[in-house]
Structure 1
Amino acid sequence: MARHFMMPPPAPRYALRHATVPACLVAGAPLPSAPDAEGLCAADLLIDGGRIAAVQPPGTLHADLGPDLRRGMVLPGLVDCHTHLDKGHIWPRSPNPVGDLPAAAHATQVDRLANWSAEDVRRRMEFGLATAWAHGVVAVRTHLDSLGPQARISFPVFRELRREWAGRIELQASSIVPLDVFLTDEATALADIVAESQGQLGCVTRFRQQPNVPLPPDFDIAMRRLFRLAAERGLDVDLHVDETGDPEVHTLARVAWLARREGFAGRILCGHCCSLAVQPEAKSAATLRACREAGIDIVSLPTVNMYLQDRRAGRTPRWRGVTLLHEMRAHGLRVAVAGDNCRDPFHAYGDHDMLDTFSQSVKVAQLDRPVGDWIASACATPADIMGLPDTGRLKVGAPADLLVLPARDWSELLSRHQGDRTVLRHGQPIDTTPPDFRDLDDLMTTA
């Protein structure tokens, strides 16, 4: 339950006084005060008609207008640009007893073939969206497993949910199939379904039956076809790349080279990119330069990569499984963090809570000393990657979709789960109770 002093009055025009806000997220107005060493400012926020009307110096707005937050932090609604709503919450019926990537892929395939009807997919996706909503997430991009007939089942469900959730959560979708699909006629039909759904064309940049190290000649053929199908339909591209601890896997560099060679003009988002972290510095730096030249954005999935990578029974993992976030930023790349899988064979845990994802990312990848503007990786940056320029920032004139937190600084935020947050949508508090896992119990028997 939200703390009483954090609750705004039931009025269309009110103030959130004596708040703390990240300087990097203030837009459409001058900074309300000088940032401290961690990039935080003191501010008064004026909300009017469900929108942010002003971000002003602390003490500017009259006490009668609204609560004194006593330096409580105000964040914009958060953005999850890489998740898998269609896989979500199947763990009770399809656990991964090994916990590694091959076992996850096998368990998911078995479950998909047995259980993924339109009704099953819809209910689990709705559950994920309702959970994200309760936690203060305002935009989600989900990957949809798209092999064979599944694309014709899941994408119509996605389109229905996008309509139903319009005005609450901005919902996008990308296809995900093995790369070898783009050597077949199935690729054209898939690209047409994605285009009909105004989605992103995506795949895992690995073959099922061919060796991936070294890259076979078919790699270039398949990737070029993906880029051309996307270009012909005006689609952006979203890829799962190098989700491995094998230092000999250099797919990201080849994707960047091919994107430039093809002259692909759309956005390209590459997720995971784990093998960069175990390659020599000179090699990884050259790859990052190629990504910058190709205009590639990166999304890191720290919690899931920590869960899967370097896992062997009875052995402590030797590396974190996380890509080179600091180095990517230093090379001028846009870098986001995202939640990825929730309670499925790829990740036994998770709750669609981007504030928790950000908190874990800071600790896993040492995004502190100072935290500075890394908060943008969970809101403004993924919003930009998704083409949502008014989302994920404290922007004057934008909807007042906000999180009001008891934490007064990064230390407090990162030390304690902010379960008593207040979530505002269009300026009004919502019920932050997530749906009960029991709501899915009837789906959890194996077909």
Structure 2
Amino acid sequence: MLDLILRNCTLPDGRTAIDIGIQNGRIAAVQPALQAAAADTIDAAGMLATPPFVDAHFHMDSALSYGLPRVNKSGTLLEGITLWGELKPLLMQEALVERAMAYCDWAVAKGLLAIRSHVDVCDPRLLAVDALLHVREKVRPYLDLQLVAFPQDGVLRSPGALDNLRRALDKGVDVVGGIPHFERTMADGAESVRILCELAAEYGLRVDMHCDESDDPLSRHIETLAYHTHRLGMAGRVAGSHLTSMHSMDNYYVSKLLPLIREAGVAAIANPLINITLQGRHDTYPKRRGMTRVPELLDAGVAVAFGHDCVLDPWYPMGSADMLEVAHMGMHVAQMTGQDGIRACFDAVTATPARILGLEGYGIDVDCKADLVVLQARDPVEAIRLRATRLLVLRGGRVIARAPAATASLALAGRPSEVNWMMQRSN
């Protein structure tokens, strides 16, 4: 007997009327009209069942700290960095854990069950590292939290940062991070990429580097990252996050750069909400969007994921852990409003970041983990349009969050009594 059958699902690949059988926390069957007994049955009523959302780039150590110790009045990246520098000495581990746990609650409710979070290692106390390692263990039963050792102030620029980063890795942090464009010189930035990639190779770890988060078209550390990834044989284990300078680069250089990224096996992670907010701040008009060249990267065969980056912190006064909001913004900023483009944006917050993070058992297939989200939508396009309600969230085949369908009652003569914003489908 199965533990659960989720009946009458629509899947992201377009299959309809599919039943998903679950046993011992894993998917045991995916087929129409599953003939099997089960301890429990849930009717998805034709709604979209998807693997959980995955956030490939986040900063949980600063999440929900908005207004501490003051508000970012300019809303700029540099004031945010300055503000974080003011906040770091005031951080208390208990409060940091409390905010991170609250954010994980939000994430679960939104069907976000895997997050890669950067954690600042430039504080020699490693207070945030210890706090998030504690959070990682507390949420492990229901959320995969992958931590990146991130030298926010520059691994060469900040005294002791490299030693702190090594200490963080020895404590069990999962990924090596960096921020080459924030080093004092371009040469130092390139040198930091070499050092950090070799360190990751030494530890056998993945790399995720804040790379070229700038409007400067001459900020080209992604090229160096691709070179060292190839040199060290780390294909599939390295990601460049932000890459916003690519938005300002000339087309000739990009025509050379894209094949280098693809050949090296480096993934790209854009952060649409934050890139559109923080970039182009020195422009009058026309104003640059700032987000990296997502369609061109995809066309070149580069894996592209989206991240939320910030929620209610020194850099961003918005957010609610909703990866469909991220996909929605990414679709607009990249002008990916064709059907294939919209579906690629859905992949950028689900399947693609799952591959970048190396998540085991992700997907809807036999023997995959029974981690699923049922959305109030009938396909990925509608899910993004509506930022669809998460009707059910399952972890290991157990419902861990649910929400009522989004509807509104009408009192209009001759009109329906209720609306739910879904398109009417003809038979």
Q: TM-score range by the shorter chain?
A: 0.7 to 0.9
Counterparts in 2 of 1:12-411, with a 5 A limit?
13-23=3-13, 35=14, 41-57=16-32, 59-60=33-34, 66-93=41-68, 94-113=70-89, 115-150=90-125, 152-177=126-151, 178-181=153-156, 186-208=161-183, 210-211=184-185, 215-216=186-187, 218-264=188-234, 267-311=237-281, 318-370=287-339, 371-391=342-362, 393-411=363-381
Is the CA contact 1:176–1:203 (under 8 Å) kept in the aligned structure 2? yes
Amino acid at match of 1:187: L
The structure-2 alpha-carbon separation of the partners of 1:16 and 1:49, relative to structure 1 and needing over 3 Å to count, comes to same
Secondary structure (helix, strand or coil) at the match of 1:149 reads coil
For the residues of structure 1 that align with 2:225 and 2:164, how far apart are their CA atoms?
A: 23
Name 2:422's counterpart in structure 1.
none
Is the CA contact 2:52–2:371 (under 8 Å) kept in the aligned structure 1? yes
For the residues of structure 2 that align with 1:400 and 1:418, how far apart are their CA atoms?
A: 21
Indicate the structure whose relative CO is greater, using CA pairs within 8 Å and at least 6 residues apart: 1
Secondary structure (helix, strand or coil) at the match of 1:319 reads coil
Displacement of 1:264 after TM fit? 4.9
For the residues of structure 1 that align with 2:217 and 2:328, how far apart are their CA atoms?
A: 28
For the residues of structure 1 that align with 2:198 and 2:157, how far apart are their CA atoms?
A: 11
Displacement of 1:173 after TM fit? 0.7
Is the CA contact 1:247–1:275 (under 8 Å) kept in the aligned structure 2? yes
The structure-2 alpha-carbon separation of the partners of 1:411 and 1:160, relative to structure 1 and needing over 3 Å to count, comes to closer
The structure-2 alpha-carbon separation of the partners of 1:63 and 1:398, relative to structure 1 and needing over 3 Å to count, comes to closer
Amino acid at match of 1:277: H
Deviations 1:93-149 (A, max 9, x none): 332110111111111111112x21212221121111121112111111110111132
Is the CA contact 1:269–1:296 (under 8 Å) kept in the aligned structure 2? yes
For the residues of structure 2 that align with 1:366 and 1:90, how far apart are their CA atoms?
A: 32
Deviations 1:304-343 (A, max 9, x none): 1111111369x67723221111111222211111111111
Displacement of 1:182 after TM fit? 7.3
Is the CA contact 1:79–1:378 (under 8 Å) kept in the aligned structure 2? yes
Is the CA contact 2:3–2:23 (under 8 Å) kept in the aligned structure 1? yes
For the residues of structure 1 that align with 2:46 and 2:236, how far apart are their CA atoms?
A: 42
Is the CA contact 2:298–2:304 (under 8 Å) kept in the aligned structure 1? yes
For the residues of structure 2 that align with 1:73 and 1:160, how far apart are their CA atoms?
A: 34
Displacement of 1:271 after TM fit? 0.4
Deviations 1:362-415 (A, max 9, x none): 233233421345422212221111111312x21222232211122113443233
For the residues of structure 2 that align with 1:420 and 1:223, how far apart are their CA atoms?
A: 40
Is the CA contact 2:50–2:372 (under 8 Å) kept in the aligned structure 1? yes
Name 2:389's counterpart in structure 1.
419
Name 1:7's counterpart in structure 2.
none
Matched residues, number: 398
Is the CA contact 2:374–2:390 (under 8 Å) kept in the aligned structure 1? no
The structure-2 alpha-carbon separation of the partners of 1:169 and 1:321, relative to structure 1 and needing over 3 Å to count, comes to same
Is the CA contact 1:241–1:272 (under 8 Å) kept in the aligned structure 2? yes
Secondary structure (helix, strand or coil) at the match of 2:21 reads strand
TM-score by length of 1: 0.81
Name 1:28's counterpart in structure 2.
none
For the residues of structure 1 that align with 2:102 and 2:373, how far apart are their CA atoms?
A: 21
Is the CA contact 2:110–2:390 (under 8 Å) kept in the aligned structure 1? no
For the residues of structure 2 that align with 1:359 and 1:61, how far apart are their CA atoms?
A: 38
For the residues of structure 2 that align with 1:306 and 1:167, how far apart are their CA atoms?
A: 34
In structure 1, the gaps of 5 or more residues are 1-10, 24-34, 434-447
TM-score by length of 2: 0.85
Secondary structure (helix, strand or coil) at the match of 2:11 reads strand
Is the CA contact 2:6–2:20 (under 8 Å) kept in the aligned structure 1? yes
For the residues of structure 1 that align with 2:2 and 2:209, how far apart are their CA atoms?
A: 42
For the residues of structure 2 that align with 1:227 and 1:352, how far apart are their CA atoms?
A: 30
The structure-2 alpha-carbon separation of the partners of 1:241 and 1:41, relative to structure 1 and needing over 3 Å to count, comes to farther
The structure-2 alpha-carbon separation of the partners of 1:185 and 1:297, relative to structure 1 and needing over 3 Å to count, comes to same
Amino acid at match of 1:235: L
Amino acid at match of 1:174: V
Amino acid at match of 2:333: V
CA RMSD of aligned residues (A): 2.7
Which deviates more, 263-272 or 279-288?
263-272
Is the CA contact 1:182–1:223 (under 8 Å) kept in the aligned structure 2? no
Secondary structure (helix, strand or coil) at the match of 1:399 reads coil
